[in-house]
Structure 1
Amino acid sequence: MNKNLTSAVVIPARFASSRYPGKPLVPLLGKPMIIWVAELAEKAVGKENVYIATDDNRIKDIAEAKGFKVVMTGKALTGTDRIAEAAQQVNADIIVNVQGDEPLADPQDILNIISEKQACLDMVINGFCYLNESEDPRNINIPKVITTEDNKLIYMSRAALPGYKEATNAPTTYKKQVCIYAFTKEELKKYQDFGRKSELEHSEDIEILRFLELNVGIKMIETKPGSYAVDTPEDVAVVEAALTKAMSS
């Protein structure tokens, strides 16, 4: 493990989300979602090591008003491509992507993923947790994670995987992606240099699948349960309730 490597969190944020326009600025308990995410990243790595990557001045103005660093990018193909572009302006060895729609991510999970990356520099590190009883594995907004028994990624899908032939063989639980990732700058450059979405990435609309085309291994690290991403307007009430519960505990 190389603990001398420096780390920074870069949060991708675009205003023109196809499913939920303006999503980074949606208020959660009166605070823009992007600020919730930036503040939890700050708890993990310090404010000086948190960057918001965006192409929108509305997001830039709000982030800077709260004292966060902003890297302006072009119109990126994906959030990971935006991170790759922004990483060129960030002075750190390890770049951690914390998605801007994960306001319930745990700062300790960010630190755990950084620690695993320091130990596994030849693999991308990504988080997962198990679906809870209220989450439907058939929900296409939840990427399901298929791994080996030692948590190396095999595949990720919006379908309810793994499948089964006999009902008695059905999985007792499903793993879902938690959108915290750790990369080296070299891995991000390879990703961006691919120049397009891979066929599987395009079909599933899951960015991390491009790394499979690049023969870059992906190790999944279990995170704290209870993470909810804001994918649609209907998710806001669920996330606000979870935030309220977390603040009162």
Structure 2
Amino acid sequence: MKSVVVIPARYGSSRYPGKPLVELLGKPMILWVAELAAQAVSPENVYVATEDESIAAVVSDAGYNAVMTSDSALTGTDRLAEAASQISADIFVNVQGDEPLVDPKDIVRIIDFKKAHMNKVINGFSVLSEGEDPANVNIPKVIATETGRMVYMSRNPLPGFKDATNKPGNYYKQVCIYAFTGDELAQFANYGRKSDLERCEDIEILRFLELGKDIQMVETQPGSLAVDVPEDVAPVEAALRARIG
């Protein structure tokens, strides 16, 4: 089965316009992500889905595939669905363009899980690090069963507790690596709107719950940091320096 990575990269981010092109240690963030994705699936199987010509030019000049999508995509997954209609593949892996610390081994792990469970949507998750606040609304928190089936995802701290003695030992966050089939992406896009839960939480994977899809969470390496707002750049650059050595 052919697996490709598609990185949605929207220039017009509401919280951080131009975010895919923000420079981290002198390199546009989108290229950090593309290079890591290429380690998992090879460069010719890495695509960047964008509505912006400047992002497409940066990606193409670096030797990766750029797929132009509309400016009206509701979410990154809707943008992925648009791109998937132009790409021949069996498995489409969404790696978010603001995750420059993603581990290529985790991408491979998600792909392998998808191959073994083609009837399920696959998503990564990891334990929150000590420096991450469960109350931070920029971090989607995950509730999953003991077998990894996603129950719910929220920007509020989950799970809740009635008594402080039952406070969870760890909170888990979504890691933005997802695996889909083309049919699953088409079903998602054909829903035609954000679901009520998706709109409230601003977490797009919740739309799959309305479609009756099982979502299997796969634990990934902890330590991934995303760039959601300008204040995230400095800690991400520090983490990149530490990784590079």
- TM-score computed with the length of structure 1 as normaliser: 0.97
> What are the within-5 Å matches in structure 2 for residues 209-248 of structure 1?
209-248=206-245
CA distance in 1, matches of 2:244, 2:219: 23
How far is the alpha carbon of 1:97 from its aligned partner? Answer: 0.2
The one-letter amino acid paired with 1:171 is P
- Of 166, 169, 183 in structure 2, the residue corresponding to residue 169 of structure 1 is 166
Q: What is the aligned partner in structure 1 of residue 31 from structure 2?
A: 35
Q: What is the aligned partner in structure 2 of residue 182 from structure 1?
A: 179
Runs of 4+ in 1 over 3 A off after TM superposition: none
Structure 2 residue 90 is the aligned partner of structure 1 residue 80: no
- Of 110, 115, 120 in structure 2, the residue corresponding to residue 113 of structure 1 is 110
5+ residue gaps, structure 1: none
The one-letter amino acid paired with 2:202 is D
The one-letter amino acid paired with 1:10 is V
How far is the alpha carbon of 1:192 from its aligned partner? Answer: 0.3
The one-letter amino acid paired with 1:241 is A
How far is the alpha carbon of 1:90 from its aligned partner? Answer: 1.0
How far is the alpha carbon of 1:89 from its aligned partner? Answer: 1.0
- Of 199, 202, 214 in structure 2, the residue corresponding to residue 202 of structure 1 is 199
Number of positions where the alignment pairs a residue of Structure 1 with one of Structure 2:
244
How far is the alpha carbon of 1:145 from its aligned partner? Answer: 0.3
How far is the alpha carbon of 1:27 from its aligned partner? Answer: 0.3
Structure 2 residue 43 is the aligned partner of structure 1 residue 51: no
How far is the alpha carbon of 1:243 from its aligned partner? Answer: 0.6
CA distance in 1, matches of 2:124, 2:100: 15
Q: What is the aligned partner in structure 1 of residue 14 from structure 2?
A: 18
Q: What is the aligned partner in structure 2 of residue 69 from structure 1?
A: 65
How far is the alpha carbon of 1:186 from its aligned partner? Answer: 0.4
Q: Deviations over 1:34-57 (max 9, x none)?
A: 000000000000001000000100
How far is the alpha carbon of 1:87 from its aligned partner? Answer: 0.3
CA distance in 2, matches of 1:228, 1:174: 15
CA distance in 2, matches of 1:8, 1:67: 15
CA distance in 2, matches of 1:6, 1:66: 23
Q: Deviations over 1:7-52 (max 9, x none)?
A: 0000000000000000000000000000000000000000010000
CA distance in 1, matches of 2:157, 2:49: 32
How far is the alpha carbon of 1:191 from its aligned partner? Answer: 0.1
CA distance in 2, matches of 1:67, 1:115: 26
How far is the alpha carbon of 1:91 from its aligned partner? Answer: 1.4
Root-mean-square deviation (Å): 0.5
Q: Name the % identity.
A: 64
How far is the alpha carbon of 1:68 from its aligned partner? Answer: 0.8
CA distance in 2, matches of 1:150, 1:33: 34
The one-letter amino acid paired with 2:218 is I
